[in-house]
Amino acid sequence: MPDTSCVVRISAYPETMNTHPHVIVVGAGILGASIAYHLVKAGAKVTVVDEGKPANRATHGSFGWINAHSPEDVGYFQFRLESIRRWHKLKAELPALPVRFGGTLNWEDPPEKIEAFQRALDEGGNPARLLSSDEIATLEPRLAEPPARAIEAALEGVADPAGIAEALLFAAIGKGAVLRTNARVEALTFDGKRVAGVEVPEGIIEGDAVVMTTGTATAALLADHGFTLPMDNAPGLLITTTPVPPLTERILTSLKLHVWQKDDGTLLVGEDFGGTDPSEGVDAICARVMERLQAFFSDLGPVEIAATSVMRRPMPADSYPALGQVPGLNGLWVAVTHSGVTLAPMIGESLAYEITSGKMVKALHPYRVHRFA
């Protein structure tokens, strides 16, 4: 249950909303799937609409790291940490979710800062310990050159975002949700001043509320209705390799390479978990990353690039999530953030509570979309 120790009635919430509203979720990525799943659990009727197939945009190009770093930003650090705890809860609830909590091994900080960073993580509530080179070599025997020191954050994990979106949608459908794919939303429909549905090529889908989880497209959709959401959607390049024998159970984040191994043996690799700016040229970046990968593991053997993804990451201009009901558009909600994988359970559960109860969750207050009004 979200933190409701300090909740207030949403002033713009439609008084006619019933206790089992019909909510239209636009976007079938990991955020939309989480919101849909938690809405049906809360008793709502749900229709998920996507212009393509589930997880066909930013979710598909995500690195999939579930993490809480940046402890100097105490509020956002705790927000992410709470979502990690809810990931563990959700995994227990749905054991088949493609999520793995093997932890992170991180040595991307300079040696003179790594001890202070480990201490800040640990004291902030993200259990972390500082490992020596010998301890690292024992945990990760396939590393070619174990660093002098690294931080192990055992609570963190990795996710297959597309697989999770599909699994959550499947679970939501099992509870009565409806999924409509290849249905592009062309416009919102209104009942007076209240958003009352969406228009798709086949007609109008009516509802009591609409939630937009449309990533990089969110700003343009809101601009059509007079609300400006400043976004900084930076592109990023990630590489998926062909399968290799088991190397590691953890996410490994060093100064020059971020990598983790999926259950099928493929590696997801980048110079940074957010993806490298592709403006340098995809071929040049791929050659450099693959050279670093060969040097990263001992006796790696032949490995090839199976796929590359260049995606624009949805990022509000101030780098924080934009969540909640849109000012001046009664019944319209948004959820857009670069940290969709980490924050999916927290956002899904909290917005579902707000939409079905008419009350606001205190933890979302710093990240409400109305700060841009």
Establish if 92 belongs to a structural domain: no
Report the pLDDT value the prediction gives residue 313, as an integer from 0 to 100.
81
Report which residue type is found at 141: P
Establish if 88 belongs to a structural domain: no
Lowest mean pLDDT among 51-65, 151-165, 190-204: 51-65
CATH of the domain at 31: 3.50.50.60
pLDDT at position 15 over 60: no
> In the beta sheet, which residues pair with residue 187?
199
Verify that 134 and 254 share a domain, yes or no: yes
Verify that 219 and 237 share a domain, yes or no: no
pLDDT at position 48 over 90: yes
Establish if 251 belongs to a structural domain: yes
List the beta strands (DSSP E) in 213-270: 235-241, 251-254, 258-261, 267-270
- By the 8 A CB rule, do 286 and 305 touch? yes
Report the pLDDT value the prediction gives residue 278, as an integer from 0 to 100.
77
| Position 3 confidence tier, pLDDT thresholds 50, 70, 90 | very low
Mean pLDDT of 40-55: 92
Verify that 226 and 361 share a domain, yes or no: yes
> What's the full length of the chain, in residues?
373
Establish if 227 belongs to a structural domain: yes
Verify that 221 and 240 share a domain, yes or no: no
Structure tokens at 372: 């841009």
pLDDT at position 50 over 80: yes
Element (H, E) at 150: strand 149-153
Establish if 172 belongs to a structural domain: yes
C-alpha distances out from residue 20 to 38, 39, 153, 165, Å: 13, 9, 40, 23
Structure tokens at 149: 């020191």
Structural domains in the chain (count): 2
| Position 233 confidence tier, pLDDT thresholds 50, 70, 90 | confident
Identify which has the larger pLDDT, 14 or 247.
247
Report the pLDDT value the prediction gives residue 61, as an integer from 0 to 100.
66
Mean pLDDT of 122-127: 96
pLDDT at position 244 over 80: yes
DSSP string, 28-73: -SHHHHHHHHHHHHTT-EEEEE-SSSTT-SGGGG---EE----TTS
| Position 11 confidence tier, pLDDT thresholds 50, 70, 90 | very low
> In the beta sheet, which residues pair with residue 106?
151, 253
Identify which has the larger pLDDT, 373 or 352.
352
Report the pLDDT value the prediction gives residue 207, as an integer from 0 to 100.
96
3-state class (DSSP) for residue 205: strand
Mean pLDDT of 314-323: 94
Task: Show the domain range for 321.
Answer: 22-60+162-232+316-372
Report the pLDDT value the prediction gives residue 59, as an integer from 0 to 100.
53
CA 277/CA 297 separation, integer angstroms: 24
CATH of the domain at 113: 3.30.9.10
CA 4/CA 86 separation, integer angstroms: 16
Lowest mean pLDDT among 2-11, 20-29, 148-157: 2-11
Identify which has the larger pLDDT, 371 or 313.
371
Verify that 180 and 213 share a domain, yes or no: yes
Relative orientation angle of helices 161-174 and 340-357, to the nearest 10 degrees: 30
The residue from 312, 341, 361 where one domain ends is 312
Q: Which of 14, 121, 24, 12 is nearest to 72 (CA)?
A: 121
Q: Please list, residue by residue across 197-206, b when 16 or more beta carbons sit within 10 angstroms of its beta carbon and e when fewer do.
A: bbebeeeebe
Verify that 173 and 279 share a domain, yes or no: no
Q: What is the maximal distance between C-alpha atoms in the chain? A: 67
What would the pLDDT profile of 354-372 be if each residue is shown by its tens digit? 999 999 999 999 999 999 9
Beta-carbon count within 10 A of 108 CB:
18
Structure tokens at 141: 């025997």
